[in-house]
Amino acid sequence: MRNRRIALIVAAVVGLPFVLAGCAEMPAPAAEGGSTPAPSAPPTEDAAAPAGLPRGPIVGTYRLAGRNVKDESGAWVPVEDFNSLGYITYSDTGYMAVNVMPLDREPFSDDGPTPEEVQAALEGYTAYYGPFSVQEDDEGGFLVHHRIGQINPGAEVDAKRFYDIDGDRLILTPAAADGTKSGGNRQVVWERLPDAELSEEAQRFVGFRQLLYTDRYEDRGSEFWRGDRNDGRAGSWIIYTPTGHMMVHLMAREGRTAYAEATPTPAEAMAAYRTYGGYFGTFTVHEDAEPQYVVHHQEGRTRPVEGVTDAERLYHLEGDVLRLGGRPRTTDDGDLVGGSLYWELLPHRPE
């Protein structure tokens, strides 16, 4: 009976919110005083960028395979203590996103997180998203990651990465300070993943979407209410890929302040953590269930946890808008309360 009631809510309501902490377990936003506002939404075109090369050879989803550094002779050698998990994805519509997480992070204490725990959790954690372009210069082809959102609130926006393709491997060499490949001293090695056998319904999820808004609802049986529309994290992204992987990047539009130095203080790390959250992993769509739901199998997230965490999201997909929300909870009075996030498919960007 309860599932039937929930199914009727999902089918009947056009807009429902969700407390963001419930979807990505994102902490409350930090105070906005003295902060630098973040971009409210991604650009669909980058007018400042020159015409690029075809993006086809780059398009795909890759798993982090290793890192290389230069030795004293200038030869590339693998990093011996490599111990990270991550994915990077490039779409044929011109967007990219990445998540990289060290595997030896300590979970927060029961009374945490403390600023010091958050500082340790963010060390080595990389997360950003935005459009990308493919270009070349005298040293070869390179990508520009136009980062409109990232966990580090003050990092460079346009990140230049020279690329080499070796079979199924994509080797990215961050440009040196002078913009050259020869001056670079590190590489990130990615391995292309095969496309998954997705159901027709699951294929409808595939793409890059930006958050429009969230709201909340209450079903009191004889009375239904929805409201509290909130666009405080509009412009955040959710990504589903043909390989069966997914990412969430939830970033506050305001209240983000750049670090004073290269390494954040505990207080700066806590402020960044409170205004940026997300996770990554694989997904499974249960279209035959009532109500329909998708499971996000979270392999990694900004909050350190052990193992894979499964998060169920009720969904409604109509046109370019995907509505997601956790299962509503039942109050002591028997009312159902919950909410949703509304994600809109991003348009194709010209090459």
What Rg, from alpha-carbon coordinates, does the chain have? 21
| CATH number of 60-192, picked from 2.30.30, 3.30.160, 2.40.128, 2.60.120 | 2.40.128
CA distances from residue 329 to 138, 320, 336, 339 in whole angstroms, order as listed:
59, 28, 6, 10
* Distant-in-sequence, close-in-space partners of 141: CB < 8 Å, separation ≥ 6: 53, 134, 135, 162, 163
Q: Provide the CB-side half-sphere exposure for 143 (13 A, CA).
A: 27
What pLDDT does 221 receive? 85
Q: Tell me, which fold does domain 2-38+196-345 have in CATH?
A: Lipocalin (2.40.128)
What pLDDT does 31 receive? 35
Give the bridge partners for 290, in sequence order. none
pTM here? 0.87
How confident is the prediction along the chain (351 residues), in pLDDT tens digits per residue? Answer: 455 555 545 544 444 333 333 344 444 333 333 344 444 445 444 444 455 789 999 999 999 999 999 999 999 999 998 999 999 999 999 999 999 999 999 999 998 899 999 999 999 999 999 999 999 999 999 999 999 999 999 888 999 999 999 999 999 999 999 999 999 999 999 999 999 999 999 999 999 999 999 999 999 888 999 999 999 999 999 999 999 999 999 999 998 999 999 999 999 999 999 999 999 999 999 999 999 999 999 999 999 999 999 999 999 999 999 999 999 999 998 999 999 999 999 999 998
Residue among 314, 243, 319, 315 at smallest CA distance from 282: 243
H-helix or E-strand spanning residue 175: none
Identical fold between 2-38+196-345 and 60-192: yes
* Distant-in-sequence, close-in-space partners of 62: CB < 8 Å, separation ≥ 6: 87, 88, 89, 170, 190, 191, 192, 193
What pLDDT does 309 receive? 95
Question: What residue segments make up the domains of the chain, in order of their start?
Answer: 2-38+196-345, 60-192
Residue among 175, 125, 177 at smallest CA distance from 152: 125
